[in-house]
Amino acid sequence: MSFQHLSVSERETIAQMSYAGASVSVIARELGRSASTISRELRRNGDSGGYSAHKAQQRSMKRRSERRVNRKLDDRMVAGEVRRMLSCRWSPETVAGRLRHEHPGEHKWHISHQTIYRWIWKNAGDEGVSSSLRHGRYRRRGRSKREVIRNRKSIHTRPSEVEGRDRLGDWEGDTIVGRGHNGYVATFVDRRSGYLVASRMRNKRASSLNQAAERAFREVPVELRQTLTVDNGTEFAKHEQLTRRLGLPIYFADAYSSWQRGTNENTNGLLRQYIPKSTNILDVMPTALAFFVDCLNNRPRKRLGYLTPAEVFNQSGKLCN
């Protein structure tokens, strides 16, 4: 049986079990892997701060990406031909396509345009490479201007009580976007009851998100603000400020793991029945959004024994309607 790389979900299991103190052999039995595979994974992709599934996945993908670049473009003949084609002002996509056309049965010449771009970036100081691009340069888009989220607390450090959905006040948060990025809605859903609070945003800046969250939680008592789990969108970059204002500890799900916020994802889908993707959200009045939210909070749910989210959430007797 050929070796298969660890999947994201397997790395999630390793992170959770490792954090809980499980031994390498126990983790290996759980995943049906060899103990040496788990030991090597923890050694290669862990660090002094522990093992993070998200960081481990990034490190693994980076190594695999670098190996692909080396295997293909460390061949002098291949690299020379790529360099020659780039000097003719051909785009990396054109170069990749032409190489496949000229060498249909030779695997080493089958290079994706993404690999060529990575090679260009790796050789950014080589004027003979970067200056040959049609646009005169290669710039990685979306990196330098992207707002950094500092001091994130991982979902793996979240209190264990959150997983059981036995208490009210553990929230999941996200945003939905309008047509052409014209407006957004910040949505926050209680995991236990499915109760939704939401507020409109004009843009996706972190300051706008914080203001929307404060409006959304205005009627939610402090006792019902236990935790908030969000994705890694830059609108949550000012999460520490939001925690101070709302008294709500915030945890970040792993990248590309929307299932870790399944309640929120599902509720956003229900809200889309009222606000389709073709909607300009700036045209949706706050009163209309409040009506849509109220409709969802008063819709019976099978998982609640056909009670409504509002009925379950109001068991606390503290929420003002």
Supply the pLDDT for residue 130.
53
Q: Strands of 152-222 (E only): list them.
A: 170-177, 184-190, 196-201
| pTM of the predicted model as reported, rounded to 2 decimal places | 0.56
- Walk along the chain (321 residues) in steps of 10 and give the mean pLDDT of each run: 72 88 89 90 86 86 63 83 85 89 88 83 60 51 58 93 94 95 96 97 94 96 96 94 96 89 94 94 95 96 93 70 43
Neighbours of 188 (CB within 10 A): 23
CA neighbor of 274 nearest in space, from 176, 149, 203: 176
Pairing of strands 170-177, 184-190: antiparallel
Q: How is residue 287 written in tokens?
A: 């009163």
In degrees and rounded to multiples of 5, residue 99 shows phi and psi of -65, -40
Q: Which residues contact 100 (CB under 8 A, 6 or more apart)?
A: 109, 110
Q: How is residue 94 written in tokens?
A: 């054109």
Q: How far apart are CA 184 and CA 204, in angstroms?
A: 7
Contact 158, 212 (CB under 8 A): no
Alpha carbon dihedral 189, 191, 194, 200, in 10-degree steps, equals 0
Supply the pLDDT for residue 131.
52
Contact 177, 184 (CB under 8 A): yes
Residue 181 CA, chain-centre distance (Å), reads 19
Dihedral sign of CA atoms 155, 257, 248, 207 in order: positive
**Which residues are bridge partners to 145 per DSSP?**
none
Residue 94 CA, chain-centre distance (Å), reads 31
Contact 123, 129 (CB under 8 A): yes
